[in-house]
A = this chain, B = another copy of it.
Amino acid sequence: MALILNAWYVAAWPHEVSAEKLLSRTICALPMVFFRDAQGKASALEDRCCHREMPLSQGWMESCTVRCGYHGMRFDGAGQCVEIPGQEFIPPGAKVIAYPVVERHGWIWVWPGDASRADPKLIPEMFARNDHPDWTSVGGTTYVRGHYELISDNLLDLTHETFIHRESLGNQAVIDHPIEVEHTDSTVTVQRWMFNHEPAPFWKRNLFLKLGRDVPADRWQIINFAPPANIVLDVGVAPTGMGAREGNRGAGCEGCNLNAITPETEDSTWYFWAFARRFQREDEALSKKLIEQVAGIFEQDRVAIEGVHETMKRNRGRPVIHLIADKGQNLARRMVEGVAENEAANR
């Protein structure tokens, strides 16, 4: 199945893109180079000079434009050539593809497809908590040698926590409590509530940190998916019996895992993730520890996903069996398939 091009994808963290140094990154199999202009606006150009096909990423920034490192042509953020050394006349074809770029929700987004459809309103609002004043968000990037949908699969069925993350997020409670699945035409929601149990190590540590003591807890996992691969998890624990399910979560630890999953190629993925929280917000040591812990957890997922990817490539078309817990990922996969088919039909 072809990659979906007409979509906004996170391409980078804001600090990765500057007016001084080019960032080279491939998005949806399209090599791009990212930089900022004099006003700080981020741009993305095709990583290929229109003259002799030199990667622009082998050039350098000069006056907030890209200098090709071979014969010195210079391009602005719109991809227009603004200088040809040794030649006054700039031919009409002297331009490179510029991809629409928007900076929002603490990330830099790029639209690799038809630029005329790149409406910034389509950038998923579900990621607003990444730079929302009521939340403290920290994050990182995990590079995965696997198809991007395998990460959606992973996040939409958290029974794997009990096995892959048995020392942090997983325990028997995760598999003992059934999921509830809902969906609209363009979203899937998977929900699991675990009442009155001893929470898994990650949450137990955080709840203890907040309360100063161990208590039985109610835990929630509310997974929201929108194609191609935007996934936000409302997660947390609160002391049992305080009405967390009814919305009274303030006495507990309320977190939010934001996942922007961007295909590099059909076989590799830039996985941008963040963990936003409403507890111990000013605790910078906790922020640092959370980055380390979440990175460590996704590193375990990476190993599993890369294993699955290799096996799937060798076994294309062979059936698999489906379990009850797969309902969310199966809905999501059909939704992605529909979007991709629709895009292919309108190409």
Give A316 to B153 CA distance when docked, in angstroms. Answer: 35
Q: Is the CB of A321 within 8 A of B70?
A: no
Q: Is the CB of A54 within 8 A of B307?
A: yes
Give A93 to B58 CA distance when docked, in angstroms. Answer: 52
Copies of this chain assembled into the complex: 3
Q: Is the CB of B55 within 8 A of A310?
A: yes
Assuming the contacts A86-B176, A87-B324, asked whether A315 and B71 have C-beta atoms less than 8 A apart, the reply is no
Chain B residue at smallest Cβ distance from A92: B321
The answer to whether A339 has its CB under 8 Å from any CB of chain B is no
Q: Known contacts A48-B311, A51-B322, A71-B325; can you find 19 more A-B pairs with CB under 8 A?
A: A50-B321, A51-B321, A51-B323, A52-B153, A52-B320, A53-B320, A54-B307, A55-B311, A58-B303, A68-B163, A69-B163, A69-B304, A70-B163, A71-B157, A72-B175, A85-B163, A85-B175, A86-B323, A87-B325
Give A291 to B259 CA distance when docked, in angstroms. Answer: 53
The answer to whether A278 has its CB under 8 Å from any CB of chain B is no
The answer to whether A160 has its CB under 8 Å from any CB of chain B is yes
Give A322 to B93 CA distance when docked, in angstroms. Answer: 9
Shortest Cβ distance from residue A234 to the other chain B in the assembled complex, whole angstroms: 21
8 contacts across the A-B interface (CB closer than 8 A): A52-B153, A52-B320, A55-B307, A68-B163, A86-B175, A86-B323, A91-B321, A93-B321
The answer to whether A67 has its CB under 8 Å from any CB of chain B is yes
Give A255 to B143 CA distance when docked, in angstroms. Answer: 50
- Give the residue of B58, B72, B307, B323 whose beta carbon is less than 8 angstroms from that of A162: B72
The answer to whether A159 has its CB under 8 Å from any CB of chain B is yes
Give A188 to B308 CA distance when docked, in angstroms. Answer: 44
Give A71 to B174 CA distance when docked, in angstroms. Answer: 11
The answer to whether A209 has its CB under 8 Å from any CB of chain B is no
Residue-wise, chain A 170-205 has the 8 Å CB interface mask toward B (1 for contact) of 000011101000000000000000000000000000
Those of A32-57 within 8 Å (CB) of chain B:
47-48, 50-55
Q: Is the CB of B160 within 8 A of A70?
A: yes
Residue-wise, chain A 95-114 has the 8 Å CB interface mask toward B (1 for contact) of 00000000000000000000
- Give the residue of B47, B159, B307, B320 whose beta carbon is less than 8 angstroms from that of A86: B159
Chain B residue at smallest Cβ distance from A324: B87
Q: Is the CB of A304 within 8 A of B87?
A: no
Determine the chain B residues whose CB is within 8 A of the CB of A335 once the complex forms.
none
